[in-house]
Structure 1
Amino acid sequence: MDRLVVSEVLAGMPVREFRSYRGRRHYSGWYWAATTQELVAYESRLELARILLADFDRSVVAIAAQPFQLVGADGSSVRRHVPDLLLARADGSVTVVDVKAAWRAKAPEVVAQFAWTEQVCATRGWAFETWYGADPVLVENVRFLAGYRRPEVIDQDAVGQAAQVARTHRSIAAIERALASRFSSDLVRPAVLHLLWSGALTCDLNRPLGAWSGVRLAGEDT
């Protein structure tokens, strides 16, 4: 573990292959992360949800899936474990994440595995996170906003104007009305949603997102 180089892990491929077969219970695939502008693999929809939240998190600067295999002693036995994610943050810190369905959280083998993984990560000064899901409304809002994460498909003139108008217009609908004479609604709405994804605008994502959702510029006092 002490010889592991984070930059090499982030530049590498997942240590596990994802194979499709009849009767497979998990939905796996690849997600294009705006954070890294690269594909990130996921083995389940729950894992994808955690990746979406990491991609939305402005403190995260790199994401690696199935980043490495840990092998080591745990008492009298030898453990082998591949964590689900490694997140590198802007402050230089690292978080290793294991994703598990909530119904398995208290299974003795899961508890033991995660306790051992946390101890190993601590030897490098890394944080360890066990993730069993989040507020469904938050996850679905972020999943929706992720559809507007690619700046190349968003009208950048509308983005700039929407950011200016947001200084005095405090909802998605109000921004659309203010720009109705300059841009069609099918350009303004994506621009506002892109600003929310990028963090330039903020709103309460723990409530369903809609036209009348209140928004404000990032950094403004509430």
Structure 2
Amino acid sequence: MSVVDPCCPQISPPTIDVAVRSVALKDVEPLSWESLSASATLVATPCGTPIRTIVTGRRFITTGVYASRKAGRPQPYESMNERAFFMHCEVDTEVLDYRAQPFRLEFAQEGRRRTYIVDCVRLMADGSIEVVEVKSDPRALHDHDYAEKLHAIRTICEQVGWRFRLVFKMALLEPAAVHQNVLDVQSWRMTEYTSADVFRIVEAFRRTGRAVLGDLVEHFASRALAFAKLKAMMVGRIVRIDLTQPIGNATPVALVSDSREAWK
């Protein structure tokens, strides 16, 4: 049986909290988690807070906290690689929501009781759930025991309809130009923008169907303010800025499809 607090208020909808509980709660439709309950247990904290400090007792190993606008909460990280991954999640318009260490899995493997604390769980725009392990490089997989553990985690995820991904440092930092743009965009994530700002941008796209950053400047008081708000809107999944080239007046911008629907 999974350990969760069913009375905990849920952020609605959709959130990682809801997604985890849809699998963890005993009285939901059988998404195949019930069939795993004899060998695997999902342990979550009340209200979706990170689980690491509960597992380690007095030993706090968190090295920092990333303030996420997208998730609406701080995300603890234990390496600079995890921090870089959170920045990518913040900017990626395909990511609806994400959580650092939202639960641990306890399972039996070859007669041994194993535990696994998830680095990150992401709710994607297509409704899928990704469980992500962030590592420096593939050399970690040379450890046979660790590789077997991850294989078991992948199998558990697949049986409940989730994806399991390994993300390495190289994928986060290269191409260097893209990484620099991610750093830039996320640095403006807390910039305030209003519903009127969003309405004007959506209307601009309705008239033209496409735009570059320079076209959208006229809707704001200044170029600097326009760039700051549009970068924050990317975090808010209103627009998608092309990050494959230097960001400037000629940078292509698209409207995120579900934001278009929301403003009809």
TM-score (norm 1): 0.74
Partner residue in 1 for 2:100:
65
Q: What residue number does 1:144 align with?
A: 184
Which residue of 2 is the match for residue 201 of structure 1? 239
Asked whether 1:118 is paired with 2:154, we answer yes
Secondary structure, counterpart of 1:212 in structure 2: coil
| Pairs aligned (count) | 209
Aligned residue in 2 for 1:41:
76
Q: How far off its partner does 1:75 sit? A: 1.7
Alignment check: 8 A CA contact 1:30 1:40 kept = yes
Spell out, residue by residue over 1:27-50, the C-alpha distance to the aligned partner (whole angstroms, 9 max, x if none).
831122222311111111211222
The unaligned stretches of length 5 or more in structure 1 are 21-26
Q: 1:171 maps to what in 2?
A: 212
Distance 1:125 1:161 in 2: 39
Instruction: Give me the CA root mean square deviation.
Output: 3.3
* 1:73-122 residue CA offsets vs partner (Å, 9 max, x unmatched): 22243322212112234655322111111143532344222112112223
For residues 1-25 of structure 1, give each alpha carbon's deviation from its aligned partner in whole angstroms, at most 9, with x where no partner exists. x6355238482322223736xxxxx
Question: Could you tell me which residue of structure 2 aligns to residue 50 of structure 1?
Answer: 85
Task: Rate the CA distance shift 1:205–1:103 in 2: closer, same or farther, 3 A.
Answer: same
Q: Distance in 2 between matches of 1:92 and 1:162?
A: 26
In the alignment, what sits opposite 2:118?
Answer: 83
Distance verdict in 2 for CA 1:126–1:157, change over 3 Å: closer
Question: What runs of 5+ residues in structure 2 fail to find an aligned partner?
Answer: 5-19, 25-43, 54-58
Out of 93-102 and 190-199, give the one that drifted further.
190-199
Identity in percent: 24
- Return the structure number with greater helix share: 2
Structure 1 residues 70 and 148, CA gap change in structure 2 (3 angstroms): same
